[in-house]
Structures are given as C-alpha cells and as structure tokens.
A and B are shown apart, each in its own frame.
Chain A
C-alpha cells in the first residue's frame, strides 16, 4: 500500500526553496525520514515540510503554489 506525506499546516505549498531554485524532490527521488520535501507558507511564514516516512516519491498530489489544508496529502511514497 502506498504511503502519503501529509501537510502539517494549512497554507500554500511550494516545491522549491525559491522561485528560481530546483525542486526539493522530484518523482522518483528517494526520501529519508527528515528530508525536506517542500514548504508551507502560512501567513507569510515559511515552514519546511519534513518526511515522516522513508521511501521513493511516486507522485506529487499537490502542485507548486497550490493552496492546501492541514492533513492534505502532498506526495505519495512507493
């Protein structure tokens, strides 16, 4: 069964540390516990989203700059 990485907060999801930088992770990348997979912006404050499980990213379920709710799946791990 696939595992999901969830958003810890409501806000805007970013896959990149800054607009011109490469994405933290791409589909196919391995993820270790504690790896940063993106940012959630809550009221102009940026919070890193750290993986709580290890695996390989098989899909992103939220796009860059997409509004997300707390608990919403951001990525799928295989």
Chain B
C-alpha cells in the first residue's frame, strides 16, 4: 500500500529529516507535538500538526493512544517513529498495524527478537555472526559460572539477565574476585529486578565501536557499509564516521556480510543497524546488538553511498522492494558527523536549554547541517540535548577533517552553550587525526583537556 499521509511520532531534528524525505516522495505529513513543542521547526514544516499532550514525554511522545488518535483524526495511513521514544517499542509497532496503519520500520516481532539480549544473541549465533565469548544464556549455579569463566578467561563481565542501561554490571579480573562479585551481583540483581539471573561475557578491553547499516524489504537485505562511533562519552556517541578508517578491507567484507546474514535470517524489513565491537589487536569483531530503527548518525552513510536512507525506509514501508542491489551500493570518500548538543563542555557537559538569539549555519561543498534550530527558537528543557548534526564529506578522511574544522568555524549558535568547542579541539588531536581511538579513549582525554576546554570558553569561541 503506497503511503499517502505520514504521521511523524517524534520531534527535533529527526522529525524535520523525516518530513523532508516524505515531501520528496509526494507524501503529506502530520507532525504530532507536545505542549512544549508548539513552536518547533517540524510543526512549522509539516502539512498538519496535532497537539498530543503535556511536555512530559510519557504523556505525549510515549502516549500510544494519543498518537493513534491523531493518526485517525487526520487520516494518516502510516507512522514514522524516528529514533528514541517509541521507535523500538514492539507493542507500538503492533498497535499501529492493528489500527490498519503502516509502521515505518520492522514488525513488532522483529523488534521483540532483536530487543531481547539473549534472543538477539541466539539469532546472531544461528546466523553465524560472531558474538562476544560468554555464557550461552543465563547461569543458574556457581559451578556453571566457574566452568564458563574457565572457558572464556579473565577479565570478564558479570551482567544481570534482567538488567539494562549499564545497571548490574561488574568486572572481575581473576577467579577470586569472580567468586565474590558473582554473589554480590546475584543479590543486587534480585533486589533491583526481582530476578537474580546472571550471564557472563569476556571483556574486550580496547575495542572500537563499529556498526553496519542494513536496508531490507522483508525478503532481501543489503548493507550500506559501516560506521565507526568509537568516540563516546558515558556510552553516548559524540563523533561518528563512515567508513571505519582503519578497518582492513578483508575484515570489512566479512563484517558487512555477517550483518546481511543476520538481517536475512530474521527477514528484516526497513533500515537497521547491527553493532559490533572490533578488537584491533586480534582483528576479531563481535556482535553487540541490533538497533531496529533509523539512527542519529545515519547521515554519514548517506554521504558516502549517496543513498537517502530515510526516504528508502519510507518507500519500503509503503510496499516497495529494495531499490538497490548490493552491487549498486558504492562507498566513496569519508564522512564525519559531530553532535552539536546544548551542553557546556567547560562545565562537565551540563545541559542547558535556552533561546537561540543568533544562528549561522555552515554551508559550502560537502557540508550538511541537520538541525531543528532557527533564530528565535527556544530549546525546551524536557527532551534530549541534541540541537543539530554537522556532517562533512570529502574524498579523503584528512580532507573531511579539514572541512569539519572549516565548517565548525562558520557554525554560530548564540544564546546557549554547545559542544562545538569540543570538536574544534578533537579535530586537531593527533590520535583522532590518525584514527587511533577506541571506546574508552574520549573520557580520559576529556579529563586531561578539561582546562583547555575551560580556557577556550573564556575566549568566547
């Protein structure tokens, strides 16, 4: 069923991004918004807009009933969930389909399978995708735990089966510590989640975060190469690239093929990302999880492949087959995205909302700025701090870094503090320029460069 009117169940820059893609497909748009978001750019851009509730996300952007009512009232025939909020909520995907509407994304069952850590790991193993060595499922006895520890070696991570978001994780360096921590972890998991079940995984100590973009139509699947997102602060990505600059070609080929195998195995539909840890030292990669949605950092893939991922996922949701064969997907050059957040790098990244009193958006060759900002817009305090994404492309990674510096120089956001000064520093760092980074590289770097970031603040840049 071709989509005629698409409801955007999200906000901020991704809502703007979705409206743009829909418009190019000749699809009308309905933007839902909370009472705090009536002035947001996506509301101004969409053909229609519907207030779905109070600022608190639980009462608006997470309110399935209100969103479905808005769709019914406006005659929308499809819903795009964006990222975050309800994007990976299987119940929402089911409810959208039960209401006779198209969910722009995978099926509820696919979200359920890939969202459950143990089930996703089993699906990956079945598809021949390497996983971090660990217990096959939950561990129920100390004897079983010891046997697994002996097999995979130390250090290893003890995780609560029912945990998430970093909670209930302990790292044991040796068998003695393992015994003590297993007992503690089990008791804590029981108290926190009502389930003392644990599983263990090998710690990959110096790993890169590399992820593969896939596009699939329920029958066929292709990859659009990989991104590297190793620069992270508190497990949040801040700088993303495509391709992963230091990945050997032979590893790239196996990595991307494994992602396609997994997408095919679950008969995936839509745009998805399969995340891996990559160990430079051994050349091994390990499946971590699959994100069953469009991701924040999708533009770097668009820049190197020329494929409009958001437009493509809407077309597929409307019933179209994949428009590309694998051989059509050619990666060219290098792209970098940096996240411009309403956070003050000089003050431990304290977030701060406020009014945009002046805005200068960078332009020129190979430069893209995806944002929901405009002059006079007041950024509300109720949602995440992402203001925009500065994306650059050039034929080489070196060229892209120079272009990033030039574009950052043009970007001006006045009225609140942003993460811009951080990226000017990172773009000059020898390790970043050499691609010599891993997932635990940025946090110590930030600590070491705290003073410079504070001084930079003083000069008003």
Contacts and interface: CB of A to CB of B under 8 A. Distances in A.
B353 A43 contact: yes
10 contacts: A9-B381, A10-B381, A12-B56, A12-B381, A42-B353, A42-B381, A43-B351, A43-B353, A43-B382, A44-B385
A65 B59 CA distance: 10
Nearest to A67: B55
Contacts of B55: 12, 67
A56 B59 CA distance: 32
Interface string A18-55: 00000000000000000000000111110000000000
- The interface size bin for chain B is 10 to 19
Interface string B337-358: 0000011000000111100000
Interface of B: 36, 54-56, 58-59, 342-343, 350-353, 381-385
A68 to B, nearest CB: 9
Residue from B36, B59, B350, B351 with most neighbouring chain A CB atoms (10 Å): B351
Contacts of B36: 67
Contacts of B58: 65
Contacts of A12: 55-56, 381-382
A13 to B, nearest CB: 10
A44 B353 contact: no
Contacts of B385: 43-44
A65 B56 contact: yes
Given A11-B353, A44-B351, A67-B56, 17 more contacts: A11-B381, A11-B382, A12-B56, A12-B381, A41-B381, A41-B382, A42-B351, A42-B353, A43-B342, A43-B351, A43-B353, A43-B381, A43-B383, A44-B385, A45-B351, A66-B56, A67-B382
A55 B381 CA distance: 30
Chain A contact residues: helix, strand, loop or mixed: strand
Contacts of B351: 42-45
A9 B382 CA distance: 11
Chain B contact residues: helix, strand, loop or mixed: loop
A42 B56 CA distance: 11
Contacts of A9: 381
Contact of A43 (B54, B56, B59, B384): B384
A12 to B, nearest CB: 6
B11 to A, nearest CB: 13
A41 B383 CA distance: 9
- The interface size bin for chain A is 10 to 19
A75 to B, nearest CB: 19
A54 B67 CA distance: 44
B382 A45 contact: no
Contacts of A43: 342-343, 351-353, 381-385
A77 B382 CA distance: 27
A10 B36 CA distance: 12
A42 to B, nearest CB: 5
A24 B382 CA distance: 21
A44 B353 CA distance: 12
Nearest to B384: A44
A45 B58 CA distance: 16
Nearest to B342: A43
B55 to A, nearest CB: 4
Contacts of A66: 56
A31 B116 CA distance: 44
Contacts of B342: 43
A10 B353 contact: yes
B166 to A, nearest CB: 14
Contacts of B343: 43
Contacts of A65: 56, 58-59
Given A43-B342, A43-B381, A43-B385, A67 B353 contact: no
A4 B53 CA distance: 29
Contacts of A10: 353, 381
A69 B55 CA distance: 12
A10 B58 CA distance: 18
A11 B57 CA distance: 12
A67 B350 contact: no
Residue from B58, B352, B381, B383 with most neighbouring chain A CB atoms (10 Å): B381
A44 B85 CA distance: 13
Nearest to B55: A67
A67 B56 CA distance: 7
Contacts of B54: 67
A67 B383 CA distance: 12
A42 B352 contact: yes
Nearest to A13: B56
Contacts of B383: 43-44
B167 to A, nearest CB: 12
B379 to A, nearest CB: 9
Nearest to B35: A67
Given A9-B381, A67-B36, A45 B56 contact: no
